[in-house]
Structure 1
Amino acid sequence: MSSNSQYGTYTAPPAYGGYNAPPADLHSAETLAYGQVYVDTYRPAYEEGAYDAGGWSAPEEGVLAPVARAGAGRRGARRRKSRYAGSADGSVRRLLPQALVVAFLAGGTTAFVAKDKAIELSIDGKPRTLHTFADDVGELLAEEGVRVGAHDVVAPAPGAELSSGDEIEVRYGRPVRLTLDGERHEVWTTARTVEEALRQWGVRAEGAYISVARSLKIGRAGLALNVRTERSVTVMADGRARTVRTNAATVRQAVEEAGITLRGEDTTAVPLDSFPRDGQTVTVLRITGTQEVREEEIPFDVRRTEDPSLFRGTEVVERAGHPGLRRITYSLRTVNGVRQKPRRIRTELVREPRTQVVRVGTKPMPTSVRGADHLNWQALATCESGGRADAVDPSGTYGGLYQFDTGTWRSLGGSGRPQDAPASEQTLRAKKLYVQRGASPWPHCGARLQG
């Protein structure tokens, strides 16, 4: 019987005495707790009693001795002298029962000899020859005190009939914790050495790493065995491919066996501590790296509060905001000559941002100023600023529709800068200024008020 696996074709070992043992299965065998001590179930029957010239003696009082002692009884009877010497009648009377007994014993001895069988029994490779009256293999094993379990092999099978000259082999199962190419299995074997067990499992041992000597005997308690078979691994590095035959335990070891040195941040496309599989291609990544520090602004928040002293639509910056600053360190890597996307590795806060505070007016705006409502304020604004409420002159001194300077604007009750106030408020302040000073604040455009 044979089966295919990644280790080649597995062929079952030859039958022992006519019994075909099933092929080993690394995955489906029943598993016992590893490290358990297995007591030798083989205890020959002759260890139970003592042998003397007359045959087997009973191990305990009250147990009958084997039939073979009957012969000794007969010989003792023949050595007795007759109580009736010289009497013919007495001789006849004495000889008649003796003849009957002799005839009976002669027939029993013939039957005794016919049932006796010479058997060679081998227990785990230790053979011995014994005589038995057992009819089958199972009866013989019970007679000899040999107990077998689910993982043991008996050949021929326990139910096979016995004949004189038969050979019987018993092989005990041994638990093995097998780590094969990085995968752990709990298996059983009847092999007595590591080399024999590897053949039984169909594991290719040529070029393999084996954690113990192949000739090591496997005891009944079993052992732990680590096997790494030889595999073909291709390593791609620096534009070249190198193929090696290796039994390495890690990708790093396989790369080293290919004659490739990893420096600095160099690594491989697969984890360096992973197990290299047969036919696998490992790509080496040559990595160079630098760091770059960049500073970035942090925007500030704006907090607005209502102010009833300001006309509606007016906003005054009470406290200017300032952006914060953070310093970020990036890792710049080049893999096999190709620049990678920068990766942020560290962030440092240099300056906290400061919140800007703005006052928002809620006071209703008056609709008129006596003595100034009838003037053409639109014409004046067009002349002064082109009609733009946020206009500022090149010097930065004057701003708004009517080009107020900051001092004049605040003397009229304004807050902040005139160009930041709504157009309606600017017009209201301009009317108040006209009532106070006429058209003189606008020497070039004041005449437009009358237009």
Structure 2
Amino acid sequence: MSPEDLHDLMLEPSRQSAPTWRTWLLSPWAGSLYAALAGISLGMIVGGGLATEVTLDVDGDLITLRSFAGTVHGVLDAANVSYDAEDHVQPAPTQPVADGATIVVRHARPLTLIMDGKRSTHMITALNVGDALEDLKLDPARLRLSANRMRQIPVSGFKLSVRTQRKVSIVADKIRVTTITTGRTVAEVLKQANITLAKGNTVRPGLKNFPEDGSVIRVIPALPPHTIPIAPNVAALNWAGLADCESHGNPKAYNPGGPYYGMYQFSLPMWKAVGGTKTPIDWPAEEQTYRAQLLFQRVQGRWQGQWPHCGARLGA
């Protein structure tokens, strides 16, 4: 009997007295009625009660499915999506699943970062270079990258070279330049600043050194020729002690009272008298020491006129 026939039968007026509820229970049609009602109820449960529609976002790939699972873990397990402690799952695996929910899964992947020549490896869940750097608290806008920020990072891993921006000052003769650089060596910084070294120039720190943020690169011109040799007994004197007494050993020391310059507090006339050029503070310590030794030789060891207060420190 079809449901329609059953419906008509239930509505057909009876010529006899109206049946009681016991009559219906004992009726041969009761079994069919129960089966029909049970089918309707089950259909309502399946169609609208337990099955939920869920969207899975697995490493950027979207999948929409219907699931009877009650938790995020159950949905992922039924969909054969595995994860472990290093992976990112949102909502958390133990959370219940609502109809229309989106579950995000990001599998961890190794990122080998070579920053200014130093290598490190990080497990990340970001899908691209830009997001990975932000997760590592690095500002991509201040970095020079070997790959585009939108470059996708596969689960197998990725190697990224990074150079940081640093503020470096360059002092060459009377010129002082401050520049922002990503150079890995002092030589690269000088090249970026269009500074060409002349023969005999000395650079400190050395050309192969890494230029730290805030560092100062000094280009020291070639020293004037040292045509007059220094006697061994003069070179053996305590020149460091004299310099410490005169200027605390500071090659840039300046005393406006003379004025006097440099480690050994030369006056400009005396400096030029021993072949010095420019001023003492324009030259490194070795040039100033050479000229001081020349002066000592020229006055035949009578240091009192040049260093009346500190000359005794020489130990002559």
| TM-score after normalising by structure 2 | 0.60
Of 193, 197, 205, which residue of structure 2 is paired with 1:258? 193
Paired residue for 1:108? 42
Residue 163 in structure 1 maps to residue 98 in structure 2: yes
Of 166, 180, 187, which residue of structure 1 is paired with 2:122? 187
Instruction: Determine the C-alpha separation between the residues in 1 that align with 2:169 and 2:186.
Output: 11
Q: Give 1:119's aligned amino acid.
A: V
Paired residue for 1:431? none
The change in CA–CA distance for 1:116 and 1:184 in structure 2 (over 3 A counts) is same
Partner secondary structure for residue 131 of structure 2: helix
Instruction: Determine the C-alpha separation between the residues in 2 that align with 1:271 and 1:168.
Output: 55
Residue 339 in structure 1 maps to residue 283 in structure 2: no
| Structure 1 segments of 4+ aligned residues over 6 angstroms from their partners | 289-292
Partner secondary structure for residue 225 of structure 1: strand
Paired residue for 2:89? 154
Paired residue for 2:131? 196
Q: Give 2:114's aligned amino acid.
A: T
Paired residue for 1:247? 182
Q: Give 1:99's aligned amino acid.
A: L
Residue 269 in structure 1 maps to residue 217 in structure 2: no
Q: Deviations over 1:160-207 (max 9, x none)?
A: 111111111111222111122333221122222212222222322225
Instruction: Determine the C-alpha separation between the residues in 1 that align with 2:199 and 2:86.
Output: 53
Residue 97 in structure 1 maps to residue 47 in structure 2: no
Of 149, 156, 160, which residue of structure 2 is paired with 1:214? 149
Instruction: Determine the C-alpha separation between the residues in 1 that align with 2:29 and 2:221.
Output: 112
Of 150, 168, 171, which residue of structure 2 is paired with 1:233? 168
Of 215, 234, 240, which residue of structure 2 is paired with 1:280? 215
Q: Give 1:247's aligned amino acid.
A: T
Instruction: Determine the C-alpha separation between the residues in 1 that align with 2:69 and 2:119.
Output: 44
Work out which structure has the larger RCO, using CA pairs closer than 8 Å and 6 or more positions apart in sequence. 1
Partner secondary structure for residue 141 of structure 2: coil
Partner secondary structure for residue 132 of structure 2: helix
Paired residue for 2:64? 129
Q: Give 1:183's aligned amino acid.
A: K
Greater helix proportion: 2
Instruction: Determine the C-alpha separation between the residues in 2 that align with 1:119 and 1:177.
Output: 35
The change in CA–CA distance for 1:159 and 1:103 in structure 2 (over 3 A counts) is same
Partner secondary structure for residue 130 of structure 2: helix
Asked if structure 2 preserves the Cα contact closer than 8 Å seen for 1:178 and 1:186, the reply is yes
Asked if structure 1 preserves the Cα contact closer than 8 Å seen for 2:223 and 2:287, the reply is no
Partner secondary structure for residue 40 of structure 2: helix
Instruction: Determine the C-alpha separation between the residues in 2 that align with 1:218 and 1:227.
Output: 15
- Which is higher, the Rg of structure 1 or of structure 2? 1
Paired residue for 1:4? none
Instruction: Determine the C-alpha separation between the residues in 2 that align with 1:252 and 1:150.
Output: 46
The change in CA–CA distance for 1:98 and 1:156 in structure 2 (over 3 A counts) is same
Greater strand proportion: 1
Instruction: Determine the C-alpha separation between the residues in 2 that align with 1:255 and 1:290.
Output: 26
Q: Give 2:186's aligned amino acid.
A: V
The change in CA–CA distance for 1:235 and 1:190 in structure 2 (over 3 A counts) is same
Asked if structure 1 preserves the Cα contact closer than 8 Å seen for 2:58 and 2:105, the reply is yes
| TM-score after normalising by structure 1 | 0.43
Identity %: 28
Instruction: Determine the C-alpha separation between the residues in 2 that align with 1:250 and 1:140.
Output: 53
Asked if structure 1 preserves the Cα contact closer than 8 Å seen for 2:168 and 2:217, the reply is yes
The count of aligned residue pairs is: 214
5+ residue gaps, structure 1? 1-74, 76-91, 295-334, 343-451
The change in CA–CA distance for 1:167 and 1:236 in structure 2 (over 3 A counts) is same
**Structure 1 vs Structure 2 CA RMSD:** 3.1
Instruction: Determine the C-alpha separation between the residues in 2 that align with 1:137 and 1:278.
Output: 48
Asked if structure 2 preserves the Cα contact closer than 8 Å seen for 1:244 and 1:257, the reply is no
The change in CA–CA distance for 1:291 and 1:239 in structure 2 (over 3 A counts) is closer
